[in-house]
């Protein structure tokens, strides 16, 4: 299955990249400098994990990769916008992303902000134009809720607030820990900041496959994929935190060893490396169990979840 998965991922990444190229090129009237900044970040070597989740969820729910492509591209554009904005001096202030200088380092802050804005808005245009009205509307709602104020943006706000509070008050962590709430705070922030978009990926996969059925998508399939997405997202975040502690910047394509310096709330910082790894393994098992109702159709999703335990970038 491991070789099969690698081959599958390579082929689907190529499909997604090809469609993304078409989508970005089609922006008639778009200033060339803006296209350049958008493309610079979008086509830097990312793992394309989120679009692949959309495609896999669509295939597991009776759809095809072709059907999933508009939603897959939309979510990658939203993800890339979030990385561009996250790297800005006002947020994480990073110089390196996807193995190259961050968008604002290359093009300046104003153009980087606008490239992120343009990717975010283009994502919803691609959904609206890529599907019949019922499916397009359902996907727009799903992506907006995963990426918006109650999802990724809200999680980012809480993460930044926590970090700033930490820097101002070194005792804050201890006070909360004494109340036994720290793990809950950590999980809540990441469930929104990283997890909500992963959940939207798999839910959109079901919606594109089943959205036009009379009565809409099957609630049992949606629930199974939603639980998978939640566990996958949490396991992914833990492995991301572990990479920051144990990883290598050249391989990861971004700065490492930065979370602790900034007072960031991380799984290894709170649970230790061994317990964090154990927790990630448990979540990957739970992600697989959630897909039991899908039978063999969920096999590739299970293999993808297992593969994040071995990630080095």
Chain residues binding ligand GRG by CB under 6 A are 46-47, 49, 79, 82-83, 85-86, 98, 152-153, 156, 193-194, 237, 240
Shortest Å distance, C-beta 126 to ligand GRG: 18
Which of 136/195 has CB closer to ligand GRG? Answer: 195
* Minimum CB–partner distance for residue 251 and ligand GRG (Å): 12
Give the burial class of 58: count Cβ atoms within 10 A of its Cβ; 0-12 exposed, 13-18 middle, 19 or more buried: buried
CB 217 within 8 A of CB 210: yes
Provide the Cα torsion 74, 75, 81, 83; round to 10°: -160
Name which of 229, 218, 209 is nearest 66 in CA terms: 209
Strands 100-101 and 96-97 come out as: antiparallel
Number of Cβ within 10 Å of residue 272's Cβ equals 11
d(CA 110, CA 227) in angstroms, rounded, equals 38
What is the nearest approach in angstroms of ligand GRG to the Cβ of residue 144? Answer: 13
Question: Under a CB-based contact definition with an 8 Å cutoff, are residues 218 and 257 in contact?
Answer: no
Q: How far is the CB of 216 from ligand GRG (least distance, A)?
A: 29
Q: How far is the CB of 85 from ligand GRG (least distance, A)?
A: 4
Q: Which is nearer to ligand GRG, 82 or 135 (CB)?
A: 82
Question: CB-wise, 46 or 298, nearer to ligand GRG?
Answer: 46
Q: Which is nearer to ligand GRG, 9 or 222 (CB)?
A: 9
Q: Is 215 helix (H, G, I), strand (E, B) or coil?
A: coil
Measured at CB, which residue is nearest to ligand GRG? Answer: 46
The tokens describing 159, both together, are 């993460």
């Amino acid at each position: 299955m491991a070789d099969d998965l690698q081959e599958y991922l390579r082929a689907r990444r190529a499909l997604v990249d090809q469609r993304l190229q078409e989508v970005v090129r089609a922006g008639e009237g778009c200033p060339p400098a803006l296209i350049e900044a958008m493309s610079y970040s979008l086509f830097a070597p990312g793992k394309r994990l989120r679009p692949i989740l959309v495609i896999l969820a669509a295939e597991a729910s009776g759809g095809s990769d072709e059907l999933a492509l508009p939603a897959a591209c939309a979510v990658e554009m939203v993800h890339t916008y979030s990385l561009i904005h996250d790297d800005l001096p006002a947020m994480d202030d990073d110089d390196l992303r996807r193995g190259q200088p961050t968008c604002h380092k290359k093009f300046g802050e104003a153009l980087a902000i606008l490239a992120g804005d343009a990717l975010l808005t283009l994502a919803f245009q691609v959904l609206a134009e890529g599907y019949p009205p019922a499916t397009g509307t359902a996907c727009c709602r799903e992506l907006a809720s995963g990426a918006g104020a109650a999802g990724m943006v809200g999680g980012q706000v809480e993460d930044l607030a926590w970090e700033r509070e930490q820097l101002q008050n070194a005792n804050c962590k201890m006070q909360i820990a004494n109340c036994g709430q720290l793990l809950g705070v950590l999980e809540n922030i990441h469930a929104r900041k990283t997890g909500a978009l992963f959940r939207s990926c798999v839910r959109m996969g079901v919606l594109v496959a089943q959205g036009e059925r009379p009565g809409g998508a099957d609630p049992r399939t949606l629930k199974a994929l939603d639980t998978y997405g939640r566990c996958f997202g949490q396991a992914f975040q833990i492995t991301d935190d572990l990479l920051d502690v144990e990883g290598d910047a050249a391989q990861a394509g971004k700065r490492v060893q930065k979370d602790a310096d900034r007072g960031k709330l991380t799984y290894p910082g709170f649970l230790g490396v061994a317990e964090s790894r154990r927790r990630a393994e448990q979540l990957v098992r739970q992600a697989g169990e959630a897909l039991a109702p899908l039978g063999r159709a969920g096999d590739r999703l299970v293999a993808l979840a297992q593969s994040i335990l071995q990630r080095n970038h």
